[in-house]
Structures are given as C-alpha cells and as structure tokens.
C-alpha cells in the first residue's frame, strides 16, 4: 500500500488543514480501497457493484438470475450470489476501517452479462436446458438500441426488486459482521442509481428499507444505514427538492449528467470532441472538466433545491470530474460535502480542495 511520506506527506497534511471538501474514493475492491486509504481517502464515495457480477465464478448464477422465468427461480439464483456479494463488502469495509462506504445498487443493462459468441450461447443453452433458438430469442429480446438510456439502474431494480433486496441484505449483513468481528462501525450508504422521477426513489427506498429492517430484526442489530441517490439525470436535478424528502444523501454522477445534458454519448463523443476543440466550439472536453455554465448550473440547482428541503443534506460527486482540479474548484464553490475519485487521484484532489478553499473565488476554474 503506497503511503504519502516525507515532504510530500507534509504538504498534504498542511493542505488538509485548509480544505473543507472531504475527499473520498471510487473503489470496488479491497485492494483499491486500501490503496486509496494510503493516499488519504476519507471514505468510499462510489462502489460500483457491476464488476462483481462479472466475476467468472458467479457469472453462471448471474445468467440463471437473468434468464429465470419466475420470481422463485430468480430468487434461487440470487441466493447463490448473496454469500459472494457479502464477502465483497466485508473485504471493502475492513479495508476502510470504519470510514463511510457508499455502495451503489446494480446499474448496467442485464444483456451485458449474457454471452455474445455462438459457442458460449450454445453452452449456456445446454446448461440451462433451453433450445439454442430459444436462447437466441431471449438474448435478442434483452438487447436495446440505446442501452445507456435503457433498462438499467433503478429501472432494473423496479422490474426486479429481488436484485435490490439481495444487495441490501449483503450490504447490511456484511456491516453487522464487520462490526461484531472487527469492531469497525461502518454506516453503509445505499445508493440508488439513475433516478429521474421522484416515485422511482420512493418505491425503491421502501424496498431497501424494508429489507434492511428485516435484517436488523433478524440479527438483533441497531446498525445505522443511509439510503440516498445518484443525481445523474437532468430531471433529477430539477426536482431535487422533492427527491431530498426521501434521499438522505445525493451524489452527482457527472459522467451521465454530462452525457444527458449535452446529448453526447459518453462512449463515442471522443470522436468529435477533438474536432470541436480544434475549431473552437468547445474549450475543453466536458467529460474531463466540468462544464460550469451548463452541467454546472444543474449541479448548483440540485444542491440549492436539495438543501432547501434538507439544509444539512450530504452531497458529493462521484463522476470522473471528482478527480479533476478545475472541477474541484467548482464543486467547492457550490458547497459540495465531498468529491470522490479514483485512488491515484486522491492526493491531487486533496491539494485542489485546499487551493479552492484558500483562493475562495471562482476565477480559477473559468480560465480567465
């Protein structure tokens, strides 16, 4: 685990005396989590759970879950994944030694977990007792023309609440076990992705809370937890006052927020953004550095509206911009509570947060 020592460590320690923004990390593994702690991360701001589902040992269960024809079959497949998912969180909580951990419920579209090669599709059909043609039809039925705007995030959890229930169980049981065995008092923050309609959140908040309460009763535990949401769909920022009635925290997903505000595909925009920069149409790549006058306005609105409902609402950012110094100046200026970035960006984020607090003006991010 890298540690910051010597003169660099000293500068970082000084910078911590000035900054008001907390710095968390985006981490999905115990290794990344402990690297980030070595760099001074004060928590996990985003644990993406989708990579865990791609693990080769659990992919067969994940595929059974997706292809199940009934809720019972789906629950059986999820029960196979639960112990592995619980181990994931135990490892991460231990590495974070009691610091806060935001775990995001499953986000990608389900067809991403299904095989693409014919031989793999044939093998899966044999394994599951389907005819190959039927398997192909099911896979085609799950494919979408525009998956990033499709059946993912909270939409998936609304269709299949059992997935959110399994993940909540793993998140809570792991926290209870880590507290009992290792004495780390983790307060998990359960984060629901891709909310754009208030009722999506109120529906899933109930699913998550009901499950969490069942587990607290089963385990006779009074462990605390929070339920919050990503702010990554422009509509969510416009109704952030309503959303804050339910959400206990917000985290801006500026990757999706940038994609949907500009209408640029985050996976394809690189092809023309270079041209745009050369021709003076865009000063920067908005996926790298926050677009203050557009996307930033939505961030500011989300913060203002959210805190109108809950003045102390904890609000962070976990998109790529959370590790970009210029963007960090902006996040400081709109009063975010923390930024979250990849482990190796944590030191620069700490420095940028301190500089933002010291300069205390907005000029540093306008390039003027």
CA angle 254–258–260, rounded 5-degree value: 120
Nearest approach in angstroms of CB 323 to Mg ion is 15
Residue 254 interacts, among ligand PEP, Mg ion, none and using kind-specific CB cut-offs from 5 to 8 Å, with ligand PEP
d(C-alpha 256, C-alpha 149), whole Å: 10
**How crowded is residue 206: how many other Cβ atoms within 10 Å of its Cβ?**
13
Nearest approach in angstroms of CB 191 to ligand PEP is 10
Among 255, 284, 309, 342, binds ligand PEP (CB under 6 A): 255
d(C-alpha 157, C-alpha 151), whole Å: 9
Residue 319 interacts, among Mg ion, ligand PEP, none and using kind-specific CB cut-offs from 5 to 8 Å, with ligand PEP
d(C-alpha 27, C-alpha 108), whole Å: 17
Contacts of Mg ion in 234-253 (CB under 5 A): 253
Residue 343 interacts, among ligand PEP, Mg ion, none and using kind-specific CB cut-offs from 5 to 8 Å, with none
Residue 319 interacts with ligand PEP (CB under 6 A): yes or no:
yes
Burial letters 135-148, b for 16+ CB under 10 A, else e: beebbeebeeeebe
Site string for ligand PEP, 38-57 (x = CB under 6 A): --------x-x---------
CA angle 274–319–288, rounded 5-degree value: 20
Q: How many residues interact with ligand PEP (rule CB under 6 A)?
A: 10
- Is the Cβ–Cβ distance between 57 and 88 less than 8 Å? no
177/256 with CB nearer Mg ion: 256
Residue 156 interacts with ligand PEP (CB under 6 A): yes or no:
no
Among 200, 256, 291, 324, binds Mg ion (CB under 5 A): 256
Residue 318 interacts, among Mg ion, ligand PEP, none and using kind-specific CB cut-offs from 5 to 8 Å, with ligand PEP
80, 87, 173, 176 from 214: Cα distances, Å? 20, 20, 11, 13
Residue 253 interacts with ligand PEP (CB under 6 A): yes or no:
yes
Residue 163 interacts, among ligand PEP, Mg ion, none and using kind-specific CB cut-offs from 5 to 8 Å, with none
Element (H, E) at 47: strand 44-48
Residue 318 interacts with ligand PEP (CB under 6 A): yes or no:
yes
Residues in the chain: 368
Query: What residue ranges bind Mg ion (CB under 5 A)?
Result: 232, 253, 256
């Amino acid at each position: 685990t890298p540690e910051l020592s010597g003169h660099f460590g000293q500068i970082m320690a000084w910078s911590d005396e000035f900054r008001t923004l907390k710095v968390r990390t985006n981490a999905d593994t115990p290794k990344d989590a402990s690297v980030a702690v070595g760099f001074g991360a004060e928590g996990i701001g985003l644990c993406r759970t989708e990579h865990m589902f791609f693990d080769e040992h659990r992919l067969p269960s994940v595929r059974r879950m997706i292809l199940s024809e009934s809720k019972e079959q789906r629950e059986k497949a999820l029960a196979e994944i639960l112990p592995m998912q619980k181990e994931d969180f135990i490892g991460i909580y231990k590495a974070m030694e009691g610091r806060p951990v935001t775990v995001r419920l499953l986000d990608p579209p389900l067809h991403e977990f299904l095989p693409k090669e014919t031989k793999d599709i044939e093998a899966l059909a044999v394994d599951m007792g389907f005819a190959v043609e039927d398997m192909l039809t099911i896979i085609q039925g799950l494919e979408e023309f525009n998956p990033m705007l499709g059946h993912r995030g909270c939409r998936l959890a609304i269709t299949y609440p059992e997935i959110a229930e399994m993940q909540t169980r793993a998140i809570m049981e792991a926290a209870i076990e880590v507290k009992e065995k290792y004495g780390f008092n983790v307060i998990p923050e359960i984060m629901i992705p891709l909310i754009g309609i208030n009722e999506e959140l109120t529906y899933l908040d109930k699913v998550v809370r009901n499950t969490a309460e069942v587990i607290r009763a089963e385990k006779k535990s009074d462990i605390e937890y929070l339920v919050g949401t990503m702010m990554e769909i422009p509509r969510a920022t416009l109704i952030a006052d309503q959303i804050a009635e339910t959400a206990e925290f917000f985290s801006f997903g500026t990757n999706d927020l940038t994609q949907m505000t500009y209408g640029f595909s985050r996976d394809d925009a690189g092809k023309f953004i270079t041209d745009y920069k050369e021709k003076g149409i865009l000063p920067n790549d908005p996926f790298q550095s926050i677009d203050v006058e557009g996307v930033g306005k939505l961030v500011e609105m989300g913060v203002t509206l959210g805190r109108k409902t809950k003045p102390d609402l904890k609000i962070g950012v976990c998109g790529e911009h959370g590790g970009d110094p210029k963007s960090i100046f902006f996040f400081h200026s709109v009063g975010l509570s923390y930024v979250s970035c990849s482990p190796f960006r944590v030191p620069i984020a700490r420095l940028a947060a301190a500089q933002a607090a010291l300069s205390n003006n907005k000029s540093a991010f306008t390039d003027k």
